[in-house]
A and B are shown apart, each in its own frame.
Chain A
Amino acid sequence: MATLREIQALVHGVLRRETALDAGALALGVRADRLGIYRGFVAQHVTGILAKLYPTVRALVGEAAWDELALAFFREVPARSWELNACAEPFAAWLDGRVGDGGLHPFLVPLAQVEWEQFAVALAPVEIPDPAGLDRLVLNPTTSALALPYPVVRFLVDRGDDVAALSPATPMPDPGDEVALLFRRHGTHHVGYHQAGDDLLFALKVVAEGVPLVAAADLARVPVARGEAALRRAVAIGLLLGPVESALG
């Protein structure tokens, strides 16, 4: 009679697709078709969560190639977390290793990074202070900044979040550096994503260094009015929280 460990090792081999289904079923003395139910489910949990978290990558890759890609990820990257979504986090890094062979466009890698970050920011276990209760400007604590080799935010904004309109025929953008800023809005929990242009970077600098607007504007050689407009925009989109007036003096 097999021990508990031996039985679990046999099942594991089948679920991880390291052992053939029929051979595993025979060794365990179970029906192969029934064991196959688990084999299918365990892979589908991972491929399903990839499809949920990376809808844009999926649309650009196309259905057939995507299915192959997702199953390859399941085989090559064992799920190391009890939290199913977390098992999909290594997808962008894994994709990076496959660029070049198989015709994968390098744009898909930073795109996957942004799609993951949208999820991570939405559910980050961080409390966002109520802006109405603040007496000075602070950075939204959910903010994540990604330095990317492709203009992913530009691509997403231009497409208007319309995943259905994307296909393998959609032209990929040319390379170009971009800093993407993602953060969750207070109250609505909506995740905003923005290209960090000069104005938002200036606003971040004012808050990070805690210098008054006039001094920061002088240092950056930016007209004060433009600096103030940058701060107001950062507050309007939810990147900065609190009263703009606190930075004006």
Chain B
Amino acid sequence: MTATAFDELPFLGYGIGLRRTHFDTLPAWLERFDFFEVLSENFMAFGGRPREVLRRVAAARPVVLHGVSLSIGSVDPLDESYLDALSGLIDEVKPRWFSDHLCLSSFEEVDYHDLVPLPFTEEAVAHVAERVRAVAGRAPVPFLLENPSYYIAYRDSEMSEAEFLREVVTRADCGLLLDVNNVYVNAENHGYDARAFIDALPLERVAQLHMAGHLVLPDVIIDTHGAPVVPAVMDLFRYVLERTGPVSTLLEWDHDIPPIDVMARELDAIRTAGREVLGDVAPDGVVGGEEATTWRR
């Protein structure tokens, strides 16, 4: 991919994550979702029912892959067994793109299954950019990095989060999966202005958005993906779209996952907010097997 290609990736419309709890109910509701995001690790190693459902969904709708264990920021070598399994899934599912988080999730070959933030340093920028290039270079589809939520600010950070994010994706020449809820959560937890943060990002690289709910505790907001999207995040979503034009938007829900009808309703609220900004824009490539047409913004 070249530096200018990310805003030319197809607009897939509005989608949700493919979750086991919806396997039985999903077929009857499929038409309410334009695309699906597949948590790579939930399918990479497995056959059985998940694989069968994944094949059916990928034949009917565009699919994108989203990972949590690439550990792109770790000082460990890249995990070849992980990359092999991921590559197998990419070959089988043919996603429009794949993504992971700007963080580390392992150290000295111990996995955290969580997203640990990186210090915002020049050393980390160079380290991550090189590894993203290595990963993206061997994949047949584009790679996006997501801005994670984070709760600690390292004393040794040398730049702001927005500068860090901009530097990494620019030098790595990858796309940006902008999690709008994470922007809100981080802005609240670390006391910065969410809109100024968005203005400072290379928005031409934004190829996908995440929307999600969070948990407000007395002292901190936790990015739980376990609640409806709050109005402030919906406002921030409109603010982003005013600057990017149509971007494939996904509702993330990972804890206390509601029934499929509630997912459809919550997604419709996001779709409605999108339409308020963009008007009626049809998604590209609604059929999974077909090549999507490109919508330029």
Contacts and interface: CB of A to CB of B under 8 A. Distances in A.
B220 A34 contact: yes
Contacts of A9: 107
Interface stretch (A35-43, A98-106, A146-154): A35-43
Contact of B79 (A15, A82, A184): A82
A249 to B, nearest CB: 34
Given A4-B75, A4-B123, A79-B111, A30 B48 contact: no
A81 interface: yes
Nearest to A190: B49
Contacts of B156: 1-2, 7, 29
Interface in A124-143: 124-127
Contact of A79 (B71, B82, B112, B116): B112
A35 B111 CA distance: 17
B45 A30 contact: no
Nearest to A33: B219
B69 interface: yes
B151 A28 contact: no
Interface string B125-169: 001000000000000000000000001111110000000000000
Contact of B51 (A1, A30, A81, A125): A125
B222 to A, nearest CB: 7
Contacts of A37: 151, 220, 222
Nearest to A12: B107
A41 B114 contact: yes
A94 to B, nearest CB: 16
Interface string A53-80: 0000000000000000000000000111
A115 to B, nearest CB: 17
A226 interface: no
Contacts of A79: 110-113
Given A15-B116, A33-B219, A189-B52, A38 B75 contact: no
A30 B220 contact: no
Interface string B63-76: 00000010101110
A29 B118 CA distance: 13
Interface residues of A, number: 42
Given A8-B74, A37-B222, A189-B49, A30 B111 contact: no
Contacts of A3: 123
B202 interface: no
Contacts of A86: 45
B48 A184 contact: yes
B55 to A, nearest CB: 11
B50 interface: yes
Given A79-B113, A82-B111, A8 B75 contact: yes
A84 B42 CA distance: 9
Interface of A: 1-5, 7-9, 11-12, 15-16, 28-31, 33-35, 37-38, 41-42, 45-46, 78-84, 86-87, 122-127, 184, 189
8 contacts: A4-B73, A8-B107, A33-B220, A34-B151, A35-B152, A41-B114, A82-B113, A123-B46
Given A82-B69, A127-B47, 17 more contacts: A5-B75, A9-B107, A11-B116, A28-B154, A37-B151, A79-B110, A81-B111, A83-B41, A84-B41, A123-B47, A123-B50, A124-B48, A125-B45, A125-B46, A125-B47, A125-B48, A189-B49
Interface of B: 41, 44-52, 69, 71, 73-75, 79, 82, 104-114, 116, 118-119, 121, 123-124, 127, 151-156, 219-220, 222
Top-7 shortest CB links A-B: A29-B155, A82-B69, A125-B47, A30-B152, A123-B46, A189-B49, A34-B151
